[in-house]
Structure 1
Amino acid sequence: MPTTTAVIDAAPRRGQALTLGARIGANPLSWLAPAVLILAAFYLYPIIDVFRLAFTNATLLSDEERYTLDALYAMLGNAALGDILITTFVFCAASVIGQQAVGLGIALVVVRGERRRLAGMTVIRTIVLIAWVIPGIANGLIWQMLFSEAPFGAINSVLRLVHIAPVAWLSDPSNAMISAVISNVWRGTAFSMIVFYAALKGIDPSLYEAANVDGANGWQKFRFITLPQMRSAILVNSILITIQTLNTFDAIISLTGGGPGRATEVLSLFTYNTVFRNYDLAGGSVLSVLMLVISLAVALFYAAFLPRWEERT
């Protein structure tokens, strides 16, 4: 049993604790300031510096800088920029659709298998996740060996065994884009699978039970229950993987190098080549700002379709 002295001593301490909590609630900025400063140092400052460099003539070969609009005009007026933006759009659209479709399919298989207590569902999830943890450069090299048109190319070797003519996976411009999309979908499907798996687990099973009572078939339950319930997850996942795909260049540079010609040179790879091959830091900054603007525009476009709070309640 606590003594009278201990109780008396504890009283002011409780008052002090309440006072401290009230101070935190009244002025949270003082506690958030360290995190804000760290984020500003590592994220905000580089962004501001990129905007500054976009209005200079900075290069990697010289320390002399002067403010000018030459880099802005040169990059935005580049004859190749239009084709690169089209290539980027095709690559991103095909990758996003492919990742979402395959990821949703795998998530549906895993969730249904778990509900039926089938063995091997954990193994399937693990196999899919392996592709996600492989670095982009390694991913490109793996698929380069698979798509290789040399005698040791794995896919063409299988085609020869079944008496089908080998395919020019990487030397034909149309096939090169398909190869790049397949490589990116294989790597990025795991993230979509995780998001959709979590969304599927959160759907109320009573909705499907009611649909069974009404005699709904599998397609009707998927269309009128599963997809509407996953609307937010699909849109958020679309934002994340679109921005991620816009910034993908490591897998492409190791798979095709942007070729043949410029058939697979996306905007991120064009930015990389501008800075590290042409040593044009100002031009690369302009392209980086352009990528940021495109990413923000895409995010706002997707966000417009997110359900409002009134629709959720």
Structure 2
Amino acid sequence: MNNGAHLKEPSLAEAKPVGRTGFWRAELRRLKANRAAYLFIAPLALVVGLILMYPILKAALMSFQYWKVARPIAAGHPFVGFDNYAEVLRSGYFAKSLGITFVYILVTVVLRFVLGIGTAVLLNTPFKGRGLVRALVIIPWAVPEVVTCLVFILMYDYQYGVINDVLMKMNLLSSPVAFLGNSDTALWAAMFVNVWKGFPFAAIMLLAGLQGIPKSLYEAASIDGASAWKQFRHVTMPSLKPVSVIVFLLLVIWTIKDFGIVYVLTGGGPSRVTEVLTIFIYRAGFKSFDFGLAAAAGMFLLIVSVAFTVLYMKATKAGDSV
């Protein structure tokens, strides 16, 4: 005998309202039930909408309008369709800035990650004064960008810079080098500053991941005769994968929009060899006063940033499910 026959679950059609009227009634009931929560988040939503969403939507609109401020027309700011996007794609400087940005991201992200994981492994090893060293490592990341750049400008100085002085005393240079004024070294000098400032973040994040790896895994690997390198390869790296993916994506997202370091150090020069995409957008808008072109280039940057942000969000969800 089936005593639970009268407890039959309602069908999908019975459980949910049917039609548009039923849908809106259900939404209204949900809003009323969560009214207090929505009131609490309303100020934040308003601030985000005004500070973040409005500029993005305005820039998207400007990218389809005529905004050459230096050459105004009687019609004001009419819609020009995809003319600004076509002009961006035809620009040789835009293509060049894309290549520079790609190199800048690839080199700095890889080096920051590699240095970060190496530093994390060292800081995870017991030694005297480890707590002090862990505190000191974070200093480069905590120092403001402008301060860091001004210090490195002095260090890179052609006549009085300490870097030239040290390299010449070590007989690695026969004469001083204008690191920030030479087209062969300017980009690498800027990338060095980026790596020096950014690797502590990767180190601290990866150190937290290392501390979460059970010691029993290393003990089992040691019993099986695995060397230190094999333990790192087969135990440490697989266990760090969730944290590593998140750190790597964060570094990429932050580097895509990097502006301050390169601009303070070189301003995009010499001969635009350090003109990353953010500086190209700045020059188009605030040097050439072509805000339509700058907005169109900014939309390209936004699309790439959003794509990596989606990957980051998926990675964080995958990490939570592990």
Q: Where on the TM-score scale, by shorter chain, does this alignment land: which range?
A: 0.7 to 0.9
Q: Which amino acid letter does the alignment assign opposite residue 103 of structure 1?
A: G
Match among 256, 270, 276 for residue 260 of structure 1? 270
Given the superposition, is the C-alpha separation of residues 310 and 72 from structure 1 closer, same or farther in structure 2, using an over 3 Å criterion? closer
Which residue does the alignment assign to 2:51?
Answer: 42
Which residue does the alignment assign to 2:171?
Answer: 163
Which residue does the alignment assign to 1:149?
Answer: 158
2:66 touches 2:79 (CA, 8 Å); kept in 1? Answer: yes
Which residue does the alignment assign to 1:27?
Answer: 34
Q: Deviations over 1:265-294 (max 9, x none)?
A: 100111111112112222111111111112
Map 1:70-219 to 2 at 5 A. Answer: 70-112=83-125, 116=126, 118-150=127-159, 152-164=160-172, 165=174, 166-219=176-229
Stretches of structure 2 that go unaligned for 5 or more consecutive residues are: 1-29
Given the superposition, is the C-alpha separation of residues 25 and 155 from structure 1 closer, same or farther in structure 2, using an over 3 Å criterion? farther
Map 1:53-64 to 2 at 5 A. Answer: 53-59=62-68, 64=76
Which residue does the alignment assign to 2:252?
Answer: 242
Q: Deviations over 1:172-206 (max 9, x none)?
A: 32322211111100111121112111111111111
1:75 touches 1:81 (CA, 8 Å); kept in 2? Answer: yes
Match among 68, 80, 84 for residue 68 of structure 1? 80
Q: Deviations over 1:157-181 (max 9, x none)?
A: 1122233323442233232221111
Q: Deviations over 1:35-93 (max 9, x none)?
A: 33332232222211111111112256679422213322222221211111010000000
Q: Which amino acid letter does the alignment assign opposite residue 154 of structure 1?
A: V
TM-score (norm 2): 0.80
Given the superposition, is the C-alpha separation of residues 225 and 278 from structure 1 closer, same or farther in structure 2, using an over 3 Å criterion? same
Counterpart Cα distance in 2 of 1:198 and 1:59:
50
TM-score (norm 1): 0.82
Counterpart Cα distance in 1 of 2:247 and 2:271:
32
Q: Which amino acid letter does the alignment assign opposite residue 132 of structure 1?
A: W
Q: Which amino acid letter does the alignment assign opposite residue 75 of structure 1?
A: V
1:235 touches 1:303 (CA, 8 Å); kept in 2? Answer: no
1:51 touches 1:285 (CA, 8 Å); kept in 2? Answer: yes
Which residue does the alignment assign to 1:286?
Answer: 296
Equivalenced residues, count: 285
**Secondary structure of 1:230 counterpart:** helix
Counterpart Cα distance in 2 of 1:310 and 1:186:
30
Aligned-residue identity in percent: 29
Counterpart Cα distance in 1 of 2:314 and 2:49:
28
Answer with 266-275 or 68-77: which moved more: 68-77
Given the superposition, is the C-alpha separation of residues 303 and 40 from structure 1 closer, same or farther in structure 2, using an over 3 Å criterion? closer
**Secondary structure of 1:80 counterpart:** helix
